Amino acid sequence: MSRPSQTLIEALAASDLIHDRAVIAQAINEIAVALDARLAGREALMLTVLHGALPFAGQLALAMRSPLRFDTVHATRYRGATTGGELVWKQRPGTSLNGRIVLLVDDILDEGHTLAALRDWCRAENAAEVLIATLCRKSHGRCVAGLHSDVNGLLVPDRYVFGYGMDFQEQGRNLPAIYALRDA
């Protein structure tokens, strides 16, 4: 077996299951209902933050009734490191944000530096409104001042979490549940 598979297997063995697929599905349905109520029939541009939000955004789009257009954005502060630096754009959306309601969809709100920068960029691009939907929010008090999810599905502990879009060393995004590494 190759080393990356062993690394993920080792991570799973040293982790706790936090939310299973059924709990995640229920949370996504609740997020969809809340967003549909907030949009009240208005069209939104679902702007998915790559790569982690792909599973969540796909399931969320299928659960929503509101008219949606789709695009993606890819920006990072990490570039393979464990701490963030300056925001680096890898892909900007091809769709104009001018006058649109933008639904910024991300897998997790941790400290929120990247998500805050993306929100601010959407506003600078003249989005009429920016709504933030996150699947998970970490339970801690270190979030960027003034940043919050308009709709969030699940709380996760202040530990390293992975699965359902979130990676462990670029692996495990396709896991159908969310896991948290045990504290060392």
Question: Which residues sit opposite 105 in a β-bridge?
Answer: 48, 133
Predicted confidence band of residue 88 (pLDDT cuts 50, 70, 90): confident
- Answer yes or no: is pLDDT of 76 > 90: no
Q: How far apart are CA 73 and CA 118, in angstroms?
A: 9
- Catalytic annotation on 36? no
- Cβ-based neighbours of 120, under 8 Å, separated by 6 or more: none
Instruction: Look up the pTM and report it.
Output: 0.90
* pLDDT score recorded for residue 47: 98
Q: How far apart are CA 173 and CA 8, in angstroms?
A: 11
pLDDT of 85 reads 65
Mean pLDDT of the chain: 91
Which residue among the candidates 110, 150, 158, 167 is catalytic per the annotation?
110
Which pLDDT does position 84 carry in this prediction?
Answer: 55
Is residue 2's pLDDT more than 90?
no
Domains of the chain: 21-156 (3.40.50.2020)
Name the pLDDT band for 87 (thresholds 50, 70, 90): confident
